[in-house]
Chains A and B, each alone.
Chain A
Amino acid sequence: MTGALMEARGLTRRFGSVTALDGVDFDLKPGEIHCLFGENGAGKSTLASILAGVIAPDDGALAVGGGPRRYGSPADAIADGVGMVHQHFALVEAFTVLENLMVGLPGRGWRPDRAGLAVRARALAEDLGIALDPAARVSTLSVGERQWIEILKSLMEAGRILILDEPTAVLTPEESRRLFAMLDGLKRRGLGIVLVSHKLVEVMQSDRVTVLRRGRKVATLATADTDPGTLTRMMIGASPPPEGTQAPRAAGAVVVETRALTSAESAGGVPARDVSLTIRAGEIVGVAGVAGNGQAALFDMLAGALAPASGEIVIDGARVSPVSPTEMMRRGVRCIPEDRFRQGLVGEMSISENLMLGRHRAAPFRRGPFVDYGAADRVAANVIDAFRIATTGPQARAASLSGGNAQKVLLAREMAPGGRVLLANQPTRGLDVGVVATVHAALRAKRDEGAAVLLASEELDDLLALCDRILVMFRGRVMAAMSARDADVERIGALMAGRQPEAAA
């Protein structure tokens, strides 16, 4: 193949006994966006990391600009003009923008050329259409602004190939559109862009797409010749489970009500401010908003983990006081927290033990004063079957599970009978289409059981597919509430960015 910027043949990488990437071919032309599409664990990030020199392949050949390469470190890739924007921000919050641009720049000597770098950064930022204040501290920037800095950083040190690993995971819909406009501009200048994504809307904006499944390449296609349905079937190797339809139902009695609920400013993170909401039995209420706009504080208060500074929580007509996790558990509140590994599961415990947590004092887990491990293993085996959890068995450590499988364990525990209120904060974050469908089905089942469900998600698709009503949160406040049937993506997007629709119109 002539004219390829980058060409890989038979890339293979094993981690222990797992083959993360198995003989994958890949090529990138100048001036194209080439998307890597696949489920979690399909090998997208592994492939991207090999292309950027972050990890070395066990087998296979890589050529960049026609010459064979064997990258020993990201510095080698950067020297070839290959830059990568990682999934998690690789920025130092305590540093200024300029300092972040300086860190790790190739070069020798003791004194970095601050002034020269600032001039170059400004010129490039202007080209990309980014407002740039080199002296601003990264901790004061919004998530979107940080993403622009990441891209700027990659382009400053490596200007031929840009690799982006799930760059929109943290962006608002509007910011995502801006990102793609930016990428189009770069494309026209002849850059090759590799985009890792599991979102169909993004894949459809690329020029070519390589679909990966379980470490193997399924196909490389011109995006114009394919469609979302075909891509999804290729990605999961089967047809996706059907999404349930959303029929209007009569909602039941009010189960949860908050009145001017406010958390302390000093609790860390953005506090929830003056939040009043109601959730009825058999209803899913959605909270739209970029993560970090007070959702965590709101959910923590409802779960009893954070005491409100003012306002009150009423469940089944009775005011909850004091607000504590035990009290909330007793009233039937169950919770799928934002960070499944830190707040939801204990990594060092087995699947059985994790499934017991919080209800180990009740049947079937209790036998006199003892815990009945036999019963726990039987419950776990059932859950592993029912949720199709990929694992070695009930004794497997939770930390050994992939994100999707861990989320299924958490779902199984919090869905168990007895819960009347289900709180789910970002339950589909980072999950692929298959697991997302499982999460959706679980939330619907809980709703149909008559539970009151509160769902916060950055993915508007989640909210529009599931919710009866949608609230939009920005900087701790509820900006607007609407019925899901009248919801409009543009309006929600503007509200998520803190603008009232009048200003957006």
Chain B
Amino acid sequence: MSADLYDGAIVVSILAATLRTMTPLLFSAMGELVTQRAGIWNMSVEGAMLSGAFAAYIAIATTGSPVLALLAAIFAGMMVSLLNAILTASLKVDHFVAGLALNLLAAGLTLFWFRAFISGRGQPTFDGLAPPDWALADLPVLGPILFAQRPLTWLAFLCVPLVWFLLYRTRQGLELRCLGENPAVLDFKGVNVVARQYAASLFGGAMTGLGGGFLILAFSDRFLPDITAGRGWLVVVAIIAGGWRPLGVLAAVTVFAFLEALAIHAQVLGLGLPHQLFLAAPYIASLLLLTHLRHRDRQPALLGEVYRRGER
């Protein structure tokens, strides 16, 4: 009897952790989905998320305000995506090259500024975002899973239908999808292709920055130079695996987050497998997914193609 109770508690804990872990991935994935549907193969997600986390850390360590920290995270994410848009949409640089360069830049700059920030005073810690303390959180089973979550987690889930509605039910969404399929169509109608690509990039950067901010405020009390640990890349994989559709991306993010939540509980579960294997599970899953998804017929037709008017 007591063993059953114990098992039940673990399942609840794993599911609650899954939703928590999904939050930063979902914000970023919904944002970058919009960027990719606009035809920009943004490879700088990891860098934007790291920048968001770092900006949130500096803001909360100096002001103590989680709201300011999240705003700083959004701003930092947008700066990285603005650079990406300048490189890809305006300067017509190869999308992969631009994204990889920005990742290196973000990793180097955050580390440099972090060292400068802590030199001579040691690393300050902070109180991040706490889950709300209310009666619903005390419900059995559903309480810890659904209601002991931070409001931003609920917002992240709300983003899925919102992005779906934007893409498939609005004029702007239709034109955005058109950017990824055949930007010449919009160009011939006098719609400013470059401006739309900037808008889509900035939206993606803001969402990824927010994800990075949530990551540090909800999961940590200090900054670590590699705090994003490849989550930005998982987002890219989730978008491919999800076939560039909001619900598909949600499903892929759920799988990755569930595997990560399992990893956190691996030692408690005592499955007799090395702990490291569980830590690597989301990344192994992403590799397997990609090798099985070689046919990308749902990919926007001109994703990652530099658009120049009248080019053959």
Contact = CB atoms under 8 A, between A and B. Distances in A.
B188 A76 contact: no
A95 B171 contact: no
A107 B182 CA distance: 21
Interface stretch (B42-50, B66-74, B125-133, B172-180): B172-180
Contacts of B175: 103-104
B181 A92 contact: yes
B189 A92 contact: no
B182 A91 contact: yes
A105 B170 CA distance: 13
Nearest to B184: A90
Nearest to A54: B188
A91 B184 CA distance: 9
Contacts of B186: 103-104
Interface string B150-173: 000000000000000000011110
Contact of A103 (B169, B185, B190, B312): B185
Interface stretch (A3-11, A108-116, A118-126, A416-424): A108-116
B169 A111 contact: yes
Interface string A84-95: 101010111111
A367 to B, nearest CB: 36
A290 B11 CA distance: 61
Contacts of B289: none
A173 interface: no
B139 interface: no
B301 interface: yes
A88 B182 CA distance: 11
A73 B182 contact: no
B169 to A, nearest CB: 7
Given A90-B182, A91-B185, A102-B174, A53 B190 contact: yes
A112 to B, nearest CB: 5
A90 B188 contact: yes
A95 B188 contact: no
B185 A90 contact: yes
A99 B174 contact: yes
Contact of A92 (B171, B172, B178): B178
A75 interface: yes
Interface residues of A, number: 30
A75 B174 CA distance: 18
Nearest to B169: A111
Interface string B185-206: 1111111000000000000000
Given A75-B191, A110-B172, A112-B174, A95 B181 contact: yes
B190 A76 contact: yes
A74 interface: yes
Contacts of A92: 177-178, 181-182, 185, 301
A468 to B, nearest CB: 34
Contacts of B182: 90-93
Interface string A49-87: 000011000000000000000000111111000001010
Given A91-B185, A92-B181, A94-B181, A110 B170 contact: yes
A72 B283 CA distance: 50
A64 to B, nearest CB: 15
Contacts of A107: 171
Given A75-B191, A104-B189, A341 B312 contact: yes
A31 B300 CA distance: 41
A475 to B, nearest CB: 21
A109 B170 CA distance: 9
Contacts of A95: 174, 177-178, 181
Contact of A75 (B171, B184, B190): B190
Choose among A53, A74, A77, A103 the residue with the greatest number of B CB atoms under 10 Å from its CB.
Answer: A103
A86 B181 contact: no
A95 B178 CA distance: 8
Contacts of B189: 74-75, 78, 103-105, 157
A158 to B, nearest CB: 10
* Most-contacted residue by chain A among B172, B177, B185 (CB, 10 A): B185
B170 A94 contact: no
Contacts of A105: 171, 189
Nearest to B302: A92
A84 B188 contact: yes
Nearest to A347: B312
Interface string B275-312: 00000000000000000000000001100000000001
A73 B186 CA distance: 11
A75 B301 CA distance: 25
B190 A93 contact: no
A337 B19 CA distance: 54
A109 B171 contact: yes
B190 A74 contact: yes
A93 B177 CA distance: 12
B188 A111 contact: no
B297 to A, nearest CB: 9
Interface string A491-505: 000000000000000
A138 B189 CA distance: 19
Contacts of A341: 312
B161 to A, nearest CB: 15
Given A91-B182, A95-B181, A103 B188 contact: no
Nearest to A76: B190
A103 B301 contact: no
A77 B184 CA distance: 16
Contacts of B190: 53, 73-78, 104
A100 B175 CA distance: 10
B181 A93 contact: yes
A84 B178 CA distance: 19
B181 A104 contact: no
A93 B184 CA distance: 13
11 contacts: A74-B188, A75-B189, A76-B190, A91-B182, A92-B181, A94-B300, A103-B175, A104-B185, A104-B189, A112-B174, A341-B312
Interface of B: 169-172, 174-175, 177-178, 181-182, 184-191, 300-301, 312
Interface of A: 53-54, 73-78, 84, 86, 88, 90-95, 99-100, 102-105, 107, 109-112, 157, 341
Closest CB pairs A-B (n = 3):
A75-B190, A104-B189, A73-B190
